[in-house]
Amino acid sequence: MTTSPATDISDASKLRHQLVEHLLADNHIRSAAVERAFRTVPRHVFAPGTTVKAAYANDIVATRHSDDGTITSSISAPWLQADMLEAARIQPGHRVLEIGSGGYNAALLAELVGPTGHVTTLDIDPAVTERAVRFLPKAGYRHVSVVTADAEHLPSAVVPDGGFDAILVTVDTWDLPWINALSEGGRLLAPLRLHGYHWAIGFTRNEEALHSDEPLIVCGFVAMQGDGAWNQNRRTVPGTGVHLSWEDGTPMSVDQLASALDSKPTVTRTHITVGGQEPFDLLTLYLAGALPGFCRLGADPDGENQVLNPPPRHWPAAAIVRGASLARLAHERIGDGVDGKGRYEFVVHGYGDQGAVAAQEMAEQVELWQRNHRGARCPLITARPADGRAPAGPDHEPHVFAKKHTCITLDWPIVPGSTASPAVLGSGDAG
């Protein structure tokens, strides 16, 4: 930084208010309380290693990396912090737990709960909690409790009588082991991993279950470490450069798919189209729940395999395995679309002897989604204690995801005849 400390402070204040104007204009800040918190907390104090300008950009500030360069801790993007704080509905006097620390978001929470409330912020990484302990008082927040622990094993001593009024999880999580730490009626905000996507979901506790009531926000946080870390169930089909990954349960064997992927696929048309810029994440989530044996299919960008044409580029494709056969969702360009960004038809490619049957099965589900659910803003999501249910397998219940601590059920509202596109409020790596 080349500016003097005095210039930095006035720059910081100006940039902070500019950022707030931006967050208001884009509707990420929707309440006076969250606006006040963002106008008050000096974000740059929590990011001393970066420029004041970068500290007030609407982007993450990476603060810790692993040996291979992966970001393991960051100050999350302001737009996502604002969305999550709004969805948490925090009130003065609330007792709040933040999982995944650093200090800045804890300070925003401290502003929202006020002097009669309390904030506990917890992180597995002692270097992160050490930063929080250092920066919070520097920024004027002396009453936040900072705890070093693995969130998978929340120390009972940190949970207040009756539970927290709100828990904000600011790290990717595959499961929700915190139901009992939440008060009745309390809010839990968590970027829950469901089939390769992270959906920041707002839940309210009602008796033993959590019920979602907010539209999903697609987001990317840093990965959970410790005992709750997600184990990537990935298998490579030998000699093809094609990878299949399963989100939940035991991955299937894939060696038998090598010859299927060596043959020309069948193509099943759906006559259902999507714009070039239109997200269809919710279709993928729908298929993940509807189809047993669902997995995501990716391919090495410079792989030898010529059968996957077009290869899945930005995201792994939705796929199902049926014995030695496979089907995967693809799309074919059918025109320019009204915005010139292209119009695409969903098609399903089938590989192997039973590939056409598998493709037909997937295409029927795409049609059901189109007919009944495409206009839905999002499914209603319920998380209940797992009660020892078996992980999702070939005979899984539709739209039920069995995790270690919870069983997650997705209820897709019926929106007949609608052709509106699914609502996705934001996207990209943000935490």
Ligand X SMILES: C[S@@+](CC[C@H](N)C(=O)[O-])C[C@H]1O[C@@H](n2cnc3c(N)ncnc32)[C@H](O)[C@@H]1O
Q: Mind telling me the catalytic residues?
A: 76
Q: For residue 73, state whether it binds ligand X (rule: CB under 6 A).
A: yes
Q: Which residue is nearest to ligand X (CB)?
A: 100
Which residues within the stretch 126-165 sit at the binding site for ligand X (CB under 6 A)? 128, 150-152
Query: Which CB sits closer to ligand X, 170 or 382?
Result: 170
Instruction: Confirm or reject binding of residue 248 to ligand X (CB under 6 A).
Output: no
**Shortest Cβ distance from residue 117 to ligand X (Å)?**
17
* Residue of 214, 24, 34, 212 whose CA lies nearest to 113: 34
Q: What is the DSSP letter of 177?
A: T
Three-state DSSP class for 16?
helix
**123 is a site residue for ligand X (CB under 6 A):** yes
Closest CA to 170 of 72, 89, 94: 72
* 83 lies in the site for ligand X, by CB under 6 A: no
Mark 33-52 with x for binding to ligand X (rule: CB under 6 A) and - for no binding.
--------------------
For ligand X, the closer CB: 125 or 247: 125
Positions 252 through 311 that interact with ligand X (CB under 6 A) = none
Contacts 24+ apart (CB under 8 A), 409-414: 409/381, 409/382, 409/384, 410/285, 410/289, 410/379, 410/380, 410/381, 411/379, 411/380, 411/381, 411/382, 412/286, 412/372, 412/373, 412/376, 412/379, 413/373, 413/376, 413/379, 413/380, 414/372, 414/373, 414/376
224 near ligand X, judged by CB under 6 A: yes
Nearer to ligand X, 217 or 260 (CB): 217
Task: Pick from 76, 212, 284, 409 the residue near ligand X by CB under 6 A.
Answer: 76
CA-CA-CA-CA dihedral for 89, 92, 96, 98, to nearest 10: 70
Closest distance of CB 97 from ligand X, Å:
11
Minimum Å distance from CB 50 to ligand X? 14
Q: Tell me the pairing of strands 197-206 and 118-123.
A: unpaired
Measured from the CB atom, the residue of 92 and 155 that comes closer to ligand X is 155
- Give the residue, chosen from 40, 50, 58, 225, that forms a contact with ligand X under the rule CB under 6 A: 225
What HEC string does 146-171 produce? EEECCHHHCCHHHCCCCCEEEEEECC
3-state secondary structure of 328: strand
Q: Which one of the spans 67-75, 136-144, 245-253, 354-362 is the region binding ligand X (CB under 6 A)?
A: 67-75
Segment contacting ligand X by CB under 6 A, of 17-25, 92-100, 280-288, 331-339: 92-100
Q: Does 173 bind ligand X (CB under 6 A)?
A: no
Stretch in the footprint of ligand X (CB under 6 A) among 217-225, 235-243, 272-280, 412-420 = 217-225
**395 three-class SS:** coil
Question: What is the DSSP code string of 342-360?
Answer: -EEEEEEEEESTTHHHHHH
Q: Measured from the CB atom, is 65 or 333 closer to ligand X?
A: 65
- The residue whose two tokens read 């039973």 is 354
At 40, which amino acid appears? T
Closer to ligand X at the Cβ: 86 or 361? 86
* Tokens (6 digits) for 117: 């409330």
Percent helix, strand and coil across the chain, each to the nearest 5: 30, 30, 40
Of 73 and 183, the one with the shorter C-beta distance to ligand X is: 73
- Cβ-contact 325, 352 below 8 angstroms: yes
CA distance 290 to 361: 10
Mapped onto helix, strand or coil, the DSSP state of residue 120 is strand
191 forms part of the interface with ligand X (CB under 6 A): no
Cβ of residue 328: shortest distance to ligand X, in angstroms? Answer: 32
Tell me the window of 93-101, 111-119, 157-165, 200-208 that interacts with ligand X (CB under 6 A): 93-101
105 binds ligand X (CB under 6 A): yes
Which positions touch ligand X (CB under 6 A)? 72-76, 98-105, 122-125, 128, 150-152, 170-171, 221-222, 224-226, 228, 431
